[in-house]
Structure 1
Amino acid sequence: MTDNQEPMLADEPSTNQLPLRKLNQWHWWFLVAINILFLIVGQSAAVLLGRFYYDQGGNSKWMATLVQTAAFPVLFIPLFLIPSSKEPSTSSTSTSIKVLAMIYFSLGVLIAGDNMMYSVGLLYLSASTYSLTCASQLAFNAVFSYFINSQKFTMLILNSVVVLSLSASLIAVNDDSEGPSGVSKWKYIIGFLCTLAASALYSLLLSLMQLSFQKILKRETFSVVLEMQIYTSLVATCVSIVGLFASGEWNSLHGEMEGFGTGRVSYVMTLVWTAVTWQICSVGVVGLIFVVSSLFSNVISTASLAVTPIASVIVFHDKMNGVKVIAMLLALWGFASYIYQNYIDDAKARRARNDVSESQNNSSC
């Protein structure tokens, strides 16, 4: 586990389900792997479905924003399946409802605004410029993690950040798709600024979520991950619905569905599965923040930018050239660097705990 995780583990945990400090090494790595799978598969599928939505005639910015959080009710299923502990919680007299409401409301509003800025950016920018600008989120998160979460940087972590940024940039500049037609220079600037601001805000959100887990919620169970995702998504969805009706875009949805390239049923299913895959991705994002750190979560999110072209080759028959292959290798290199750093930190922490345990046993003899 990374060094910046220790403050969370140092707090007296609640005796709810699956306290992290009671997990053995392989259980911890399995939990990390599951969340990585959720993030990469969810984000890749959501991006592909989003592209399909626009390619077939979809053009509602608020609908594209809404589907990113609207499927949050499906998360109640795993939340109810996780058994509750019969022992009382010892975490600082349970965080008050007022504080929890303020945290969830604030983060939910920020998420809705962030999703909207991403939608505006994609509307006014070419795919290459959009992707290249989104790659800046890793650099933003490195800064926020350092100041907000006291993230300690090593050469392996810095190597991972640089290499993954280069990988995403290679994919972006190699994108041969044409930019949107009829976009003025002013709209282009708006799109660029919105995407840059969205990348910065996304990184800030990850760091704030990690801070909330460590300093306020102080509950070392995966149920807290689901609760965070459910309630922030509820707020974000409400904000998006208000925006959809206030903007008047809801009036054009029927015509959009009728004119969808693959039919009305396909239109509905595209929106439904886009919403579901975004929730799967979000669980992976928040889960990695909870189990590891916000920077690690962003590293994996950036790595998935190199996975999406592979999925595009399979689904949309895009061309896979040498530049994309190099970008994939760079992404794997950066990913391996960060994973290896976590392995080193985990081994070091376990050796330290074993030394302390042995010294205590020797002193008691």
Structure 2
Amino acid sequence: MAVAGQEVELQVTAKDEVSNEAPSSINTNQIPATKHYRWWLRVAVYIIFLLAGQATATLLGGLYYDKGGNSKWMATFVQSAGFPILIPILFFISPSTKSATSPPPVATIVLVYLFFGLLLTGDNLMYSYGLLYLPVSTYSLLCATQLAFNALFSFLFNSQKFTALIINSLILLTVSASLVAVNSDSDNSSNIPKGKYIIGFFCTLGASAGYSLYLSLLQVSFEKVLKSENFRVVLEMQIYPSMVAAVGSVVGLFASGEWDGLKMEMDGYEKGSVSYIMTLLWTAIAWQICSVGILGLIFEVSSLFTNVISTLGLPVVPVLAVIFFGDKMDGVKAIALVVAVWGSVSYVYQHYLDDSKLKAKTGLLVRANDGCDNA
């Protein structure tokens, strides 16, 4: 009986330790073994969508500006205008009927869509300014600071704990962004005025912060507001806020007067009017593919994991920008790239440790259950 009592105490302790684990940890252990491979397959597909869409959209956005495009609101519009391609998929996915809780009021859902749509509009506009006033390679390096902002917002909204590795990652990413900032004189060789470079620099930082806030609040919305386990919810959370963001971008396009210059911009595009339209079209499609990957990973794992995966594409875009756009990759920028990757790897390793710790505690709980049954 004493042995049984010790085993029951071990079981309770293990349960308490697992229940106190940070919710941002990867929760693959909570998935039944029979469905585990399906979960990994979905996660793998979302990762491919995110990385491929992100790299393609960033390069096409740079191509738009590089070949004669100049409209910030048009670049903002295409980041959300591709949502209609996702609407047909909704007809093949039935609404969830297994939810343990009642759905939120329609008014609440509409407010959520409006909030995220307006947040996306402002965030996409800042990204557009960043791509306009910065070389693509510099822009991509600055986007790595998104991890640092995400750590902060995850601490505030998603119960993320700061560890030595995460703090190390934040310091390295800050150093990387600082190196890019002090290297602005080198980038100005591409005829970017100093004032516009500074605007692009801070707009990109602001956009990274805004998008990190967006990811963290999305996770909160899935967990606290929508409370549904259906991919249809993921698509709806992409389609309707994107619709709001697209409408907001159209309003900005007319209010700013940029609408009047689009015909001249298309006629003066270096690659021709057909290439102009196709560049914008495929940019819109690429951003939607990327967004589906992002939302899927948030839904299946967490916003933190999503941001970590996003930074895996960090080394790709600057290298491709050097190849296709002739961006300079001098010594300072190369060091900034290495430091940013180092910071990202540090962040990834922390998640690996968290996952291993959770697996060990879950195994302890299983063994305690087995021991209690035997006793």
2:135–2:187 Cα contact (<8 Å) kept: yes
In the alignment, what sits opposite 1:89?
A: 98
Displacement of 1:336 in angstroms is: 4.1
Q: Is residue 85 of structure 2 the alignment partner of residue 74 of structure 1?
A: yes
Task: Flag the 1:288–1:327 CA change in 2: closer, same or farther, 3 A.
Answer: farther
Q: Is residue 285 of structure 2 the alignment partner of residue 267 of structure 1?
A: no
Task: Flag the 1:22–1:294 CA change in 2: closer, same or farther, 3 A.
Answer: same
Which of 104, 108, 124 is matched with 2:117 structurally? 108
3-state SS of the aligned residue for 1:255? Answer: helix
Q: 1:324-335, aligned counterparts within 5 Å?
A: 330=339, 332-335=341-344
CA distance in 1, matches of 2:169, 2:262: 43
1:36–1:300 Cα contact (<8 Å) kept: yes
1:38–1:280 Cα contact (<8 Å) kept: yes
Q: Is residue 235 of structure 2 the alignment partner of residue 226 of structure 1?
A: yes
Q: 1:174-253, aligned counterparts within 5 Å?
A: 176-178=186-188, 181=191, 183=193, 185=195, 190-253=199-262
Structure 2 unaligned segments of length 5 or more: list them: 1-17
- Farther-moved stretch of structure 1 (202-211 vs 256-265): 202-211
2:136–2:318 Cα contact (<8 Å) kept: no
Task: Flag the 1:79–1:251 CA change in 2: closer, same or farther, 3 A.
Answer: same
Which of 25, 28, 37 is matched with 2:48 structurally? 37
In the alignment, what sits opposite 1:5?
A: 23
Displacement of 1:281 in angstroms is: 1.7
- Farther-moved stretch of structure 1 (57-66 vs 72-81): 72-81
One-letter amino acid of the counterpart of residue 275, structure 1: A
In the alignment, what sits opposite 2:67?
A: 56
Displacement of 1:312 in angstroms is: 2.4
**Paired residues, number:** 354
TM-score, normalised via structure 2 length:
0.79
In the alignment, what sits opposite 2:293?
A: 284
Displacement of 1:263 in angstroms is: 0.6
TM-score, normalised via structure 1 length:
0.81
Task: Flag the 1:324–1:91 CA change in 2: closer, same or farther, 3 A.
Answer: farther
2:315–2:341 Cα contact (<8 Å) kept: no
In the alignment, what sits opposite 2:358?
A: 349
In the alignment, what sits opposite 2:4?
A: none
Displacement of 1:237 in angstroms is: 0.6
2:266–2:276 Cα contact (<8 Å) kept: yes
1:129–1:172 Cα contact (<8 Å) kept: no
Task: Flag the 1:169–1:286 CA change in 2: closer, same or farther, 3 A.
Answer: farther
1:73–1:230 Cα contact (<8 Å) kept: yes
CA distance in 2, matches of 1:181, 1:314: 19
Identity of matched residues, %: 54
In the alignment, what sits opposite 1:15?
A: none
In the alignment, what sits opposite 2:5?
A: none
- Farther-moved stretch of structure 1 (42-51 vs 305-314): 305-314
CA distance in 2, matches of 1:33, 1:164: 26
CA distance in 2, matches of 1:144, 1:58: 34
- Farther-moved stretch of structure 1 (99-108 vs 140-149): 140-149
One-letter amino acid of the counterpart of residue 153, structure 2: F
3-state SS of the aligned residue for 2:188? Answer: coil
1:138–1:165 Cα contact (<8 Å) kept: no
1:136–1:165 Cα contact (<8 Å) kept: yes
CA distance in 2, matches of 1:284, 1:254: 34
Q: Is residue 127 of structure 2 the alignment partner of residue 118 of structure 1?
A: yes
Structure 1 unaligned segments of length 5 or more: list them: 10-19
Larger radius of gyration: 2
In the alignment, what sits opposite 2:8?
A: none
CA distance in 2, matches of 1:144, 1:53: 32
1:42–1:279 Cα contact (<8 Å) kept: yes
CA distance in 2, matches of 1:346, 1:29: 15
CA deviations 1:284-304 (Å, max 9, x no partner) are 222232233323333333443
2:81–2:242 Cα contact (<8 Å) kept: yes
In the alignment, what sits opposite 2:31?
A: 21
RMSD value, Cα = 3.6
CA distance in 2, matches of 1:156, 1:209: 25
